[in-house]
Structure 1
Amino acid sequence: MCTLARLPLLAVDIGNHQIKFGLFPRESGPGLPQPARVWSLPTHEADGDSLAALLPAEKMAWYVAAVQRQAERRLAGWVQARRPYDRYRLLRNTDFPLQIHVEQPQQVGADRLAAAVAVNHLRDPNRSAIVVDAGTAITVDLVSADGVFEGGVILPGFRLTTKALAEGTDLLPHVDHDPAADPPPVVGKSTAAAIRSGLFWGQVGAVRELTQRIAGELASPPQVFVAGGDAERLAAFLPQARVIPELVLAGIVLCAPGGESDGAGRG
């Protein structure tokens, strides 16, 4: 028998194209939990030797939030086969210490809820928050001043929009997306440059408009938190936005329950 509360935590955020891992010490100081190490793998590489080489040998407790169900099933099977001494728990929406005020709470992505849980540990008391997570999809969510997840907006992210534009047209090329690149000139001097401009400035404009419209419906100005692979690029154009790169992983850790569990398996 092994007490989960004594094991190091591995928070896992399974997205549509990559899986992000964060190794957290069980004991942390005040504020948001901070990972000792973070790494990512493409979803198709997260159940093989590339993952095994990155994991410490010691026993761990896995806490997993997933929006890609097939990848999660593969990972769960790999853990059970390769690390049977570990503890593995897939977080359900009912595991999040959060009121969810939407029509179908069970359909809200676990990554959105984890981010909201983390933001409740960051925002000022009695002040609402807007949470922007810029990944494969971009989500713009509202957490009320009472800490309630109120829903939000979902739109395609940079890579998904690029892929759709290339696959849905005959002559437009696929344009690589580099989150570290400088913002492109607004007026593109080639087809590829015009696409990069439209993708970048279109996404910036969409997110800025959405945050302003959500804020306009509130009684007082909200705080804005930004996470995800494109967080830095977007936040530069969102006044007073605060970038928290590991927001979702920290939220997963905050949801990790205590107690004891025997045997590897999905909680």
Structure 2
Amino acid sequence: MGQSVVAVDIGNSFIKAAVLTDVLTPLDLHDTPVVTFKSEDIGNAQWLDFLGSCPVETQWFLASVNQSCLDCVVQWLDSQTTPIKRTILNHQHLPLDFSAVDVDQVGVDRLLSALGAMGARENPFPVVVVDIGTAVTIDAVTAEGAFLGGVIMPGIYLSSIALANYTDRLPEVEVNISDLQGLPQAIGTCTQDAIKGGLVWGLIGAIEAVVKQQQKILGPGAHLIVDGADSDLVSNLPFDVSTMDHLCLRGIIHVAQNVLD
């Protein structure tokens, strides 16, 4: 039997987890269910059902940008009758070059997403990694595996909340960026449509502008890899784009494979 692993990506809003019964086999997340939790789900029936498929000797690999949520997961792990092996990842676990950045001040999720994108390449080439979540990150990685840094900006959800909270009459507008089912009009005929168009087209424009600047450094051969966006949004970016889900989880699994191989 192969080495089983639970990979856990603890973000600002959600926990994503995947169980791999043999982490050393070639990775295909399409065949591996990824389950999403909130912090209040830790230890509940859904959480326990998900973990019921884990062999006894399963090792956990965790990465987090949410310390309080990580503490809850660790507390649950420590409360189990059978000790559970765990590794909380940081930059020292990653086979990337961080000499260009102050790596202690860079979120491990960005580093792991970069590794997840790099690990999927058949041939070495520079990449721009875009991860669209609560925050949007756009990071540059050279063909040699040097993480150069990037930008962080509010995601659509945060921008919508800011408009609602810091104006008198603008409503909060919900936009599901992973399932847009067509892009909003750039000329909205009511306030809600105008906000929705501004949020979506503003994000597209911001990504385009940043990627163009990063490509000046990486070179025109830099490839764009996007996680978390609907295909309609991606198709409006004027670049050669690949979409790839769960980049951070892919990076965690890549580290687990290196550790256990």
- Between the aligned partners of 1:102 and 1:72, the Cα distance in structure 2 is 28
Shift of 1:54: 1.9
Letter in 2 for 1:9: V
- Aligned mates of 2:65, 2:71 — CA distance in 1: 11
Matches within 5 A, 1:86-97: 86-97=84-95
SS in 2 for 1:186: coil
Q: Identify the residue that residue 194 of structure 2 maps to in structure 1.
A: 194
Given that residues 44 and 71 in structure 1 are in contact (C-alpha distance below 8 angstroms), is that contact kept between their aligned partners in structure 2?
Answer: no
Query: Is the contact between residue 10 and residue 22 of structure 1 (CA under 8 Å) also seen in structure 2?
Result: yes
Counterpart of 1:23 in structure 2 is 19
How far did 1:82 drift?
3.4
Q: C-alpha separation between the residues in 2 aligned to 1:124 and 1:21?
A: 26
Q: Tell me the TM-score normalised to structure 2 length.
A: 0.89
Q: Deviations over 1:43-96 (max 9, x none)?
A: 332343331222225222111110011000001101221364322221122111
Contiguous gaps of at least 5 residues in structure 2: none
Per the alignment, residue 76 of structure 2 pairs with 78
**Is residue 2:232 matched to residue 1:236?**
no
Aligned pair count reads 253
Whichever residue aligns with residue 41 of structure 1, its letter is F
Contact 1:47/1:74 (<8 A) preserved: no
Residue 209 of structure 1: how far off its partner (Å): 1.2
**Structure 2 CA distance for aligned equivalents of residues 233 and 62 of structure 1:** 35
Q: TM-score, normalised by structure 1?
A: 0.87
Structure 1 equivalent of residue 116 of structure 2: 118
**Alignment check: 8 A CA contact 2:39 2:72 kept:** no
**Residues 1:39 and 2:38 are matched in the alignment:** no
Matched residues in 2 for 1:29 and 1:52: separation?
Answer: 25
Q: What is the DSSP-based 3-state SS (H/G/I as helix, E as strand, rest coil) of the residue aligned with 1:208?
A: helix
Q: 1:127 to 1:91 in 2, by over 3 A?
A: same
Amino acid at match of 2:255: C
| Greater RCO, CA 8 A, separation 6+ | 1
Aligned twin of 2:151:
153
> Which is helix-richer, 1 or 2?
2
Query: Are 1:208 and 2:204 an aligned pair?
Result: no
Q: 1:27: Cα distance to partner?
A: 4.3
Residues 214 and 14 of structure 1, relative CA distance in 2, 3 Å threshold: same
Match of 2:10 among 11, 14, 18: 14
SS at 1:94 equivalent:
helix
In 2, distance between residues paired with 1:142 and 1:235? 18
Structure 1, gaps ≥5 residues long: 260-267
